[in-house]
């Protein structure tokens, strides 16, 4: 136990992980200590894991105060300038950056034909809540967002306040504590493979727990290093396994950088 406390303290002391969820560090750290009892090696293995599941997506560290000022300035200059400012910030996280070339088409196509959506849950959201202006949701839609970085969640709350988006962002390890709020739509964008890397039981548990009428699930069509042969087919097969036995209606969409499925749950 002393070792686990020391491991958590050591990881949180690094500038890269100072804002990350302590609960997540504790969960992953305990698993790493179970595999290799030496503290130093377990700290290193935990940091590697955190890099794979979160740290690797940052193209550079983000100055959130400057980013918010940039968005506020865009808003003053009008809706197009605001969208440009939002896109510039989304470029800083690899996951939203990859989606930018198809962003308008991505949400227009996948969410077309849905009844008005009044609440959204963005699970392991990254900077995707900044794409709210591209999403065809009801004007008053409440936006709930979870990820593992406290500074990123504080920034998203500041953005919601600035843009008048009702909702909140909060730190949550969604693999250990799947969200339970009832919503119209849950976004699981490029999230399931990351959670499966953390814990093999996380995805079925999350899918069983989510209380959403519709799910938009996606997978990367390229790795962080570039497009890879067979990736789409592999993720599709994996998704089919997760869907098996569930009474779901599924529509498939393929974009240059992302494979997406809109799921309607039949309760
Ligand atoms: C591939 S990115 C996807 C980000 C966003 N959904 C998007 O598509 O732009 C994976 C995200 O999962 C987050 N993440 C990883 N493990 C998590 C966990 N246990 N709970 C919540 N978020 C997690 C990471 O911080 C990262 O933002």
221 φ, ψ (degrees, to nearest 5): -95, 0
**Interval between CA 53 and ligand 1 midpoint (Å):** 7
CA 24 to ligand 1: nearest atom: 19
Which residues contact residue 161 at a Cβ distance below 8 angstroms, ignoring those fewer than 6 apart? none
Contact 96, 191 (CB under 8 A): no
CA 188 to ligand 1: nearest atom: 6
For residues 173 and 240, give the distance between their C-alpha atoms in angstroms, rounded to a whole number.
Answer: 25
Specify the pLDDT at position 37: 83
Find, among 215, 236, 204, 190, the residue nearest to 96 by Cα: 190
Per residue in 119-134, pLDDT tens? 999 999 999 999 999 9
Report H helices in the chain.
Answer: 2-12, 22-35, 39-53, 64-77, 79-90, 94-99, 103-111, 150-163, 192-198, 202-209, 231-243
- Stated pTM of the model: 0.96
Written in H, E and C, the secondary structure of 216-237 is: EEEEECEECCEECCCHHHHHHH
**Interval between CA 126 and ligand 1 midpoint (Å):** 6
For residues 26 and 8, give the distance between their C-alpha atoms in angstroms, rounded to a whole number.
Answer: 6
Specify the pLDDT at position 55: 92
Q: Is the pLDDT of residue 1 over 70?
A: no
Q: Is the pLDDT of residue 65 over 80?
A: yes
Q: How far, in Å, are 133, 140, 211, 240, 252 from residue 264 at the CA level?
A: 23, 22, 12, 15, 12
**Ligand 1 contact via 128 beta carbon (within 6 Å):** yes
CA 149 to ligand 1: nearest atom: 25
**Ligand 1 contact via 219 beta carbon (within 6 Å):** no
**Interval between CA 60 and ligand 1 midpoint (Å):** 16
Specify the pLDDT at position 190: 97
- Closest residue to atom 25 of ligand 1, CA basis: 54
Specify the pLDDT at position 267: 58
Out of 163-172, 179-188, 190-199, 225-234, least confident range = 225-234
Mean pLDDT, residues 90-103: 96
Q: Is the pLDDT of residue 83 over 90?
A: yes
Q: Which of the two residues, 3 and 60, has the higher pLDDT score?
A: 3
Q: Is the pLDDT of residue 38 over 80?
A: yes
- Mean pLDDT value across the chain: 95
């Amino acid at each position: 136990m002393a070792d686990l406390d020391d491991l958590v303290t050591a990881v949180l002391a690094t500038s890269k992980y100072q804002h990350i969820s302590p609960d997540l560090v504790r969960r992953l750290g305990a698993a790493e200590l179970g595999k290799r009892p030496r503290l130093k090696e377990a700290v290193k293995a935990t940091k590697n894991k955190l890099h794979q599941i979160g740290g690797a997506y940052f193209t550079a560290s983000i100055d959130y105060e400057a980013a918010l000022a940039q968005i506020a300035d865009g808003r003053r200059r009008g809706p197009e300038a605001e969208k440009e400012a939002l896109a510039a910030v989304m470029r800083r996280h690899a996951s939203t950056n990859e989606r930018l070339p198809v962003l308008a088409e991505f949400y227009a196509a996948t969410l077309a034909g849905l009844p008005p959506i009044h609440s959204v849950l963005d699970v392991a959201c990254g900077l995707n809540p900044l794409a709210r202006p591209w999403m065809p949701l009801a004007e008053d839609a409440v936006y709930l967002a979870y990820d593992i970085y406290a500074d990123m969640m504080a920034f998203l709350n500041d953005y919601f306040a600035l843009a008048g988006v009702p909702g909140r962002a909060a730190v949550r390890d969604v693999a250990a504590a799947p969200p339970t709020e009832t919503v119209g739509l849950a976004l699981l964008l490029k999230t399931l493979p990351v959670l499966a890397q953390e814990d093999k039981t996380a995805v079925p548990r999350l899918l069983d727990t989510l209380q959403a009428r519709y799910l938009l699930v996606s997978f990367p069509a390229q790795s962080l290093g570039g497009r890879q042969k067979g990736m789409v087919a592999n993720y599709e097969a994996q998704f089919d396994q997760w869907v098996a036995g569930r009474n779901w209606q599924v529509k498939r969409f393929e974009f240059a950088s992302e494979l997406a499925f809109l799921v309607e749950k039949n309760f």
